[in-house]
Amino acid sequence: MGGKCPHRSVKKRRYSHKTHRRSKFLVKGDDCVYDDLLKTVDEKKPLPLDEDLPGMGQFYCIHCDRYFSNVVVRDEHFKTKRHKKRLKLMLGPAPHNQLDAELAGGMGMPDNGPKLMSM
Ligand SMILES: [Zn+2]
Protein backbone atom coordinates (compact mmCIF):
# COMPACT_ATOMS: atom_id res chain seq x y z
CA MET A 1 0.00 0.00 0.00
CA GLY A 2 1.20 3.52 0.66
CA GLY A 3 -1.00 5.97 -1.23
CA LYS A 4 -0.61 9.70 -1.24
CA CYS A 5 -2.73 10.45 1.77
CA PRO A 6 -3.91 7.95 4.36
CA HIS A 7 -6.86 10.09 5.49
CA ARG A 8 -10.01 9.16 3.67
CA SER A 9 -11.69 12.47 4.45
CA VAL A 10 -9.23 14.32 2.20
CA LYS A 11 -10.90 13.65 -1.10
CA LYS A 12 -10.56 16.86 -3.01
CA ARG A 13 -7.28 17.61 -4.68
CA ARG A 14 -7.34 21.30 -3.90
CA TYR A 15 -7.19 20.71 -0.19
CA SER A 16 -3.80 19.80 1.03
CA HIS A 17 -3.69 17.52 4.00
CA LYS A 18 -2.41 20.33 6.20
CA THR A 19 -5.27 22.66 5.29
CA HIS A 20 -7.77 19.98 6.08
CA ARG A 21 -6.23 19.24 9.45
CA ARG A 22 -6.03 22.89 10.40
CA SER A 23 -9.79 23.36 10.23
CA LYS A 24 -10.18 20.56 12.71
CA PHE A 25 -7.79 22.10 15.18
CA LEU A 26 -9.44 25.50 15.12
CA VAL A 27 -12.86 24.29 16.20
CA LYS A 28 -13.54 23.45 19.81
CA GLY A 29 -14.62 19.94 20.68
CA ASP A 30 -18.30 19.12 20.81
CA ASP A 31 -18.26 18.73 24.56
CA CYS A 32 -16.60 22.12 25.07
CA VAL A 33 -19.17 23.88 22.91
CA TYR A 34 -21.99 22.02 24.64
CA ASP A 35 -20.73 23.21 28.02
CA ASP A 36 -20.53 26.76 26.72
CA LEU A 37 -24.08 26.54 25.43
CA LEU A 38 -25.37 25.42 28.80
CA LYS A 39 -23.57 28.30 30.46
CA THR A 40 -24.80 30.94 28.03
CA VAL A 41 -28.41 29.85 28.42
CA ASP A 42 -28.32 30.85 32.08
CA GLU A 43 -26.65 34.23 31.73
CA LYS A 44 -27.06 36.53 28.79
CA LYS A 45 -24.22 38.97 28.90
CA PRO A 46 -22.76 41.01 26.03
CA LEU A 47 -19.67 39.68 24.38
CA PRO A 48 -16.44 41.25 25.54
CA LEU A 49 -14.69 43.58 23.12
CA ASP A 50 -11.54 42.12 21.67
CA GLU A 51 -9.43 44.03 19.20
CA ASP A 52 -7.67 40.91 18.02
CA LEU A 53 -10.85 39.24 16.84
CA PRO A 54 -12.74 40.07 13.67
CA GLY A 55 -15.51 42.60 14.27
CA MET A 56 -14.15 43.25 17.79
CA GLY A 57 -15.48 39.84 18.81
CA GLN A 58 -19.07 41.05 18.70
CA PHE A 59 -20.39 38.61 16.12
CA TYR A 60 -19.92 35.16 17.46
CA CYS A 61 -21.41 31.79 16.70
CA ILE A 62 -21.32 29.69 19.86
CA HIS A 63 -22.16 26.50 18.04
CA CYS A 64 -19.23 26.71 15.68
CA ASP A 65 -16.89 28.71 17.94
CA ARG A 66 -16.31 31.28 15.23
CA TYR A 67 -16.11 35.04 15.07
CA PHE A 68 -17.38 37.13 12.18
CA SER A 69 -16.52 40.62 11.02
CA ASN A 70 -20.10 41.86 10.77
CA VAL A 71 -23.70 40.86 11.27
CA VAL A 72 -24.28 40.17 7.56
CA VAL A 73 -21.51 37.61 7.43
CA ARG A 74 -22.76 35.99 10.60
CA ASP A 75 -26.30 35.72 9.30
CA GLU A 76 -24.92 34.20 6.12
CA HIS A 77 -23.08 31.68 8.25
CA PHE A 78 -26.27 30.77 10.10
CA LYS A 79 -27.69 29.63 6.79
CA THR A 80 -24.79 27.38 5.89
CA LYS A 81 -24.96 23.62 5.92
CA ARG A 82 -22.05 23.38 8.29
CA HIS A 83 -23.73 25.52 10.92
CA LYS A 84 -27.04 23.71 10.68
CA LYS A 85 -25.31 20.39 11.00
CA ARG A 86 -23.60 21.60 14.12
CA LEU A 87 -26.80 23.07 15.53
CA LYS A 88 -28.51 19.73 15.13
CA LEU A 89 -25.62 18.02 16.86
CA MET A 90 -25.95 20.32 19.87
CA LEU A 91 -29.70 19.81 20.16
CA GLY A 92 -29.24 16.09 20.40
CA PRO A 93 -27.99 14.13 23.38
CA ALA A 94 -24.97 15.43 25.23
CA PRO A 95 -21.77 14.61 23.39
CA HIS A 96 -19.27 12.31 24.91
CA ASN A 97 -16.47 13.85 26.84
CA GLN A 98 -13.29 12.66 28.45
CA LEU A 99 -15.04 11.77 31.72
CA ASP A 100 -17.51 9.51 29.94
CA ALA A 101 -14.69 7.81 28.15
CA GLU A 102 -12.78 7.18 31.36
CA LEU A 103 -15.80 5.89 33.25
CA ALA A 104 -16.71 3.60 30.38
CA GLY A 105 -13.19 2.28 30.42
CA GLY A 106 -13.49 1.63 34.16
CA MET A 107 -10.96 4.29 35.00
CA GLY A 108 -12.75 6.68 37.32
CA MET A 109 -9.51 7.36 39.10
CA PRO A 110 -6.03 6.39 38.11
CA ASP A 111 -5.47 2.96 39.54
CA ASN A 112 -2.33 1.06 38.83
CA GLY A 113 -3.40 -1.97 40.86
CA PRO A 114 -1.54 -3.54 43.74
CA LYS A 115 2.17 -3.16 43.59
CA LEU A 116 3.91 -6.25 42.43
CA MET A 117 6.57 -7.59 44.72
CA SER A 118 9.79 -8.30 42.96
CA MET A 119 12.16 -10.76 44.53
ZN1 LIG B 1 -22.34 28.47 13.39
Q: What residues pack around ion ligand 1 (CB closer than 5 A)?
A: 61, 63-64, 83
What mean pLDDT comes out for the span 1-14?
Answer: 55
> What is the 3 CA–ligand 1 centroid distance (Å)?
34
Q: How far apart are the first and last CA of the chain?
A: 47
Helical H runs in 9-113? 17-26, 30-42, 71-78, 81-91, 98-104
**Residue 38 domain-assigned (yes or no):** yes
Q: Structural domain of residue 55, as residue ranges? A: 28-93
User: Which CATH number do you get for residue 88?
Assistant: 3.30.160
> What is the 89 CA–ligand 1 centroid distance (Å)?
11
**Residue 37 domain-assigned (yes or no):** yes
| Alpha-carbon gap, residue 59 to 48, rounded angstroms | 11
Q: How many domains does the chain have?
A: 1
| Alpha-carbon gap, residue 49 to 53, rounded angstroms | 9
**Residue 42 domain-assigned (yes or no):** yes
Model confidence pLDDT, tens digit, residues 76-117 = 999 999 888 888 887 777 667 777 777 777 766 655 666 666
| Alpha-carbon gap, residue 33 to 88, rounded angstroms | 13
> What is the 26 CA–ligand 1 centroid distance (Å)?
13
**Residue 104 domain-assigned (yes or no):** no
**Residue 103 domain-assigned (yes or no):** no
> What is the 87 CA–ligand 1 centroid distance (Å)?
7
Look up the pTM and report it: 0.54
**Residue 15 domain-assigned (yes or no):** no
